[in-house]
């Protein structure tokens, strides 16, 4: 499946190997298997199977090696190392990611100081928490009548389950206490519940986390018309008469440039690098990079009240402790934040040392808040300066509004209430993560219903200004969300892939 013999041309070129790029390859392999597909990834292959989640790597040293290999130009930089490190004040990325080293904050603005990337086969999907909640209320894209069916399909591709932690001894207790503090007055769908997760349990009981390997599936891996090219930078999309005509790539091992023709190009490079590729290609509609929005994040921890030690101890060697599971407090328009409450070592951020008397009884709480959309919140690109890959350098313009700050204040108060409902809060106050920490950058190639200058792509994700060029990723989502966006982004990719299958294969 992985090769470096570049074809002269293919039917579909996919830029990026994360979950949304993989979704395009999967749907096309299922619906139009005669189409030739080339997928290009700037980073290396770090797992077996290709594109797998690094948490599935049992050996700790091999796992750390995969994370470092994913850190691209930031491979030598320090990453978050352990409990308490997140509050140290240094700019540190999570393992497997690297920070935007310059241009993350403009004078007088808030910026995104924790803006980060992953460069590896599988993209950020090889390092994510696997949370796949559905959007609710104002998070939903109201002009897509088929959204629910698309989300169902995204569940299938990602292997989403809700029962992986049902055997955890504290999970019912956590959910019961959260429900008592949250559920009153909420519709059933917005009440405390199990977090939908892209994870399944093997016959031997071990958890397996989904990433691009699961999305690709055996049908894509077995497709003789599909090829994956790792360590290959796509420098620009080629156009002919304004339409997609292929991609120009540079093999990073040799620095040799190649041209690959394509009838359709899908740019799924991530929330910030997808608009970067369009900019480098001369595709620069007014909305490119605009309406950028991230989810501010508040974290806290609590020790479960009256939690007795269990026979099952915390798992070692990087495997997850399965004591309190993962619970979900859904977003509502009245409370515009989304909650992930999870056993400590499933949290993306180390919060505190565990309690040796009752392993797993310290629970991490996180609330993500929705951002007020602003036209001037954006990522710009330079015609003169370049980044570590030689692509146009980024400059982030980003400012919290008074409404955003008020929502954050509400989230800080609410997370304390939730911690007190669960048990004994740890520390005096919750910690507000540096902006960009969520890694959920949205809106920079946003979807719209018409080519009115306020969106980059159509409801099928085709770029208005460049027919045959499609965009994918969280960056396509046009609404302000608080919930994890991956499920929605994959759902939108399904819609785009179906459109390509219809157009190219009939």
Question: What residues are annotated to the active site?
Answer: 440
Structure tokens given for 191: 């009440």
3-class DSSP assignment, residue 254 = coil
Compute the 3-state secondary structure of the chain and give helix, strand, coil in percent, each to the nearest 5: 25, 25, 50
Structure tokens given for 96: 């497997």
Non-local CB neighbours of 331 within 8 Å, separated by 6+ positions: 135, 136, 137, 139, 190, 337, 338, 370, 481, 482, 483
Query: CB atoms < 10 A from the CB of 350, how many?
Result: 20
Helices and strands, counts by H and E, the chain? 8, 20
* Partner residues linked to 258 by β-bridges: 249
Distances (CA, A) of 42 to 249, 270, 501: 10, 12, 26
Query: CB atoms < 10 A from the CB of 432, how many?
Result: 15
Nearest to 279 by CA among 375, 379, 192, 358: 379
DSSP 8-state assignment for residue 459: T
């Amino acid at each position: 499946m992985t090769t470096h013999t570049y074809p002269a041309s293919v039917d579909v070129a996919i830029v990026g190997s994360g979950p949304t790029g993989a979704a395009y390859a999967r749907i096309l392999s299922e619906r139009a298997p005669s189409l030739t597909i080339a997928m290009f990834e700037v980073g290396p292959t770090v797992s077996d199977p290709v594109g797998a989640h690094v948490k599935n790597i049992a050996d700790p040293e091999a796992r750390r090696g995969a994370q470092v290999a994913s850190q691209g130009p930031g491979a030598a930089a320090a990453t978050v190392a352990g409990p308490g490190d997140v509050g140290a004040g240094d700019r540190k990325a999570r393992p497997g990611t690297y920070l935007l080293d310059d241009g993350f904050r403009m004078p007088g603005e808030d910026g995104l100081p924790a803006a980060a990337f992953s460069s590896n086969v599988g993209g950020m999907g090889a390092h994510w928490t696997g949370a796949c909640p559905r959007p609710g209320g104002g998070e939903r894209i109201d002009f897509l009548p088929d959204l629910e069916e698309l989300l169902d399909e995204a569940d299938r591709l990602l292997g989403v389950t809700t029962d992986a932690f049902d055997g955890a001894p504290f999970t019912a207790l956590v959910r019961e206490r959260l429900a008592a503090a949250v559920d009153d007055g909420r519709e059933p769908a917005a009440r405390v519940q199990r977090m939908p997760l892209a994870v399944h349990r093997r016959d031997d009981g071990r958890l397996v986390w989904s990433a691009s390997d699961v999305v690709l599936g055996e049908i894509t891996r077995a497709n003789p018309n599909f090829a994956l090219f790792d360590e290959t930078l796509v420098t620009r999309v080629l156009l002919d008469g304004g339409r997609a005509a292929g991609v120009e790539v540079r093999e990073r091992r040799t620095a040799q440039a190649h041209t690959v023709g394509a009838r359709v190009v899908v740019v799924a490079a991530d929330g910030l690098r997808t608009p970067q590729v369009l900019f480098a290609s001369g595709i620069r509609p007014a909305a490119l990079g605009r309406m950028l929005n991230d989810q501010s994040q508040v974290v806290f921890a609590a020790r479960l009240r009256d939690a007795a030690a269990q026979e099952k101890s915390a798992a070692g060697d990087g495997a997850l402790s399965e004591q309190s599971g993962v619970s979900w407090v859904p977003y509502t328009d009245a409370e515009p934040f989304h909650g992930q409450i999870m056993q400590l070592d499933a949290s993306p951020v180390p919060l505190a040392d565990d309690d040796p008397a009752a392993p797993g009884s310290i629970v991490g709480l996180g609330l993500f808040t929705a951002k007020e959309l602003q036209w001037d919140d954006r990522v710009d690109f330079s015609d003169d300066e370049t980044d570590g890959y030689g692509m146009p350098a980024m400059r982030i313009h980003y400012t919290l509004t008074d409404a955003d700050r008020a929502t954050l204040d509400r989230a800080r108060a609410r997370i304390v209430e939730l911690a007190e409902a669960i048990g004994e809060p740890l520390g005096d106050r919750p910690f507000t993560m540096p902006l960009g920490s969520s890694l959920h950058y949205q809106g920079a190639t946003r979807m719209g219903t018409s080519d009115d200058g306020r969106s980059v792509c159509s409801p099928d994700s085709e770029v208005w200004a460049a027919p045959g060029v499609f965009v994918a990723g969280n960056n396509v989502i046009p609404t302000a969300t608080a919930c994890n966006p991956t499920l929605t982004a994959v759902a939108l990719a399904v819609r785009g892939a179906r459109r390509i299958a219809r157009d190219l294969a009939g």
